């Protein structure tokens, strides 16, 4: 066994497997720029190494694989008018695409909380494992941001309008719902993950995972598909909210209430992004689009305010600008899709 440790990413090999462990458990392994670079270095080292047949990514601690990017750092960067986040996103999105195209099995243990950037380093992998503890989400509209890391690509390809629902509300998907929406491939009970990891050191990934896979406990989205498809197929967010409110379904009305608490700008940009992502022909082209959205959000009032309310001050009372959906103009949405003024990850 060989090991190479850095403070927040632990890398080691055992048998035929290379293991990447995200190691910021107090922050639920939130990603920093240095962590993104270290993951990429490990993938480079193993890509042409004949001794390594499988890559495994997992999270340290008991709370989850990864809660997303380090949004406090993004908040501080945005407040100061900095550009550090732009460089972070460029490298992060390139890593997301690399994971999707990686030539060896890339096994993601999506145990516990897997959100935002955590989805980016897991759900693009070729073998994605969820457990009964999994909570998979793209909760960006709640902080005035838009799903990124290829999130609009993944959710835009979910059955019907399930992905639109998850993208706009930021709702968490358990194991069965992650499988239904295409965010995961296999359910393995969490107590079996250590044995699965051991098996991956000596057996081909798909064979090992198949031996531990079980039927997932029932989810929620399958039974809600009818009203989700009917309501979220609307052309505008305002109409989505009206359909949810008038549906007569309690869960739909709850979704409407959630939407009305989110950033109005982020909701409209997200709906447009999901629809555009469906028409784009590759993950890379979607990531280029998301890079433009992220750069635009960095200079928006809602991103700073959303992170302040949810993470910094934790008063859970964001003051969105503008405060209502009706006040968000088409021009304001279009501004997010304009060229970012910085080289996009895959523009060369």
Question: Catalytic pick from 117, 125, 156, 174?
Answer: 117
Residue 35 pLDDT exceeds 60 = yes
Cβ contacts of residue 198 below 8 Å, gap of 6+? Answer: none
CA dist 270 and 201 (Å) reads 40
Question: Catalytic pick from 77, 92, 148, 161?
Answer: 148
Question: Catalytic pick from 69, 125, 151, 170?
Answer: 69
Q: Is 331 a catalytic residue?
A: no
Residue 342 pLDDT exceeds 90 = no
Cβ contacts of residue 116 below 8 Å, gap of 6+? Answer: 67, 68, 69, 137, 138, 139, 140, 148, 149, 151
Q: Is 148 a catalytic residue?
A: yes
Q: Is 117 a catalytic residue?
A: yes
What mean pLDDT comes out for the span 308-334? 96
- For 225-258, what is each residue's pLDDT tens digit? 999 999 999 999 999 999 999 999 999 999 999 9
- For 99-153, what is each residue's pLDDT tens digit? 999 999 999 999 999 999 999 999 999 999 999 999 999 999 999 999 999 999 9
- For 56-112, what is each residue's pLDDT tens digit? 999 999 999 999 999 999 999 999 988 899 999 999 999 999 999 999 999 999 999
Token digits of residue 107: 């096994």
Question: Catalytic pick from 58, 70, 92, 140?
Answer: 140
Q: Is 288 a catalytic residue?
A: no
Cβ contacts of residue 167 below 8 Å, gap of 6+? Answer: 138, 141, 147, 151, 152, 155, 270, 271, 274
pTM for this structure? 0.96
């Amino acid at each position: 066994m060989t090991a190479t440790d850095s403070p927040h990413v632990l890398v080691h090999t055992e048998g035929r497997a290379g293991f990447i462990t995200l190691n910021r458990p107090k922050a639920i392994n939130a990603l920093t720029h240095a962590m993104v670079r270290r993951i990429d270095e490990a993938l480079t080292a193993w890509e042409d190494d004949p001794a390594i047949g499988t890559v495994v990514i997992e999270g340290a601690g008991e709370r989850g694989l990864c809660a997303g990017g380090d949004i406090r750092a993004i908040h501080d960067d945005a407040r100061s008018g900095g550009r550090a986040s732009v460089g972070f996103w460029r490298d992060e999105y390139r890593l997301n695409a690399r994971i999707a195209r990686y030539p060896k099995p890339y096994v993601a243990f999506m145990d516990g909380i897997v959100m935002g950037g955590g989805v980016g380093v897991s759900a693009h992998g070729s073998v994605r494992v969820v457990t009964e503890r999994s909570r998979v989400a793209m909760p960006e509209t709640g902080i005035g941001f838009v799903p990124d890391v290829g999130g609009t690509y993944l959710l835009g390809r979910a059955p019907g309008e399930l992905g639109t629902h998850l993208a706009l509300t930021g709702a968490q998907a358990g194991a069965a719902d992650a499988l239904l929406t295409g965010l995961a491939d296999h359910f393995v009970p969490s107590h079996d993950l250590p044995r699965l990891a051991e098996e991956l050191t000596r057996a081909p990934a798909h064979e090992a995972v198949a031996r531990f896979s079980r039927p997932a406990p029932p989810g929620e989205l399958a039974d809600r598909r009818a009203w989700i498809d009917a309501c979220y197929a609307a052309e505008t967010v305002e109409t989505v909210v009206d359909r949810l409110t008038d549906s007569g379904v309690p869960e739909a009305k709850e979704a409407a209430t959630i939407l009305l608490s989110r950033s109005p700008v982020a909701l409209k940009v997200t709906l447009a992004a999901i629809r555009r992502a469906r028409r784009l022909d590759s993950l890379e082209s979607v990531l280029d689009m998301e890079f433009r959205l992220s750069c635009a959000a960095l200079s928006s009032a809602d991103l700073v305010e959303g992170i302040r309310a949810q993470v910094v001050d934790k008063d859970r009372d964001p003051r969105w600008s503008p405060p209502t959906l009706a006040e968000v103009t088409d021009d304001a949405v279009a501004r997010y899709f304009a060229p970012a003024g910085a080289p996009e990850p895959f523009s060369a």
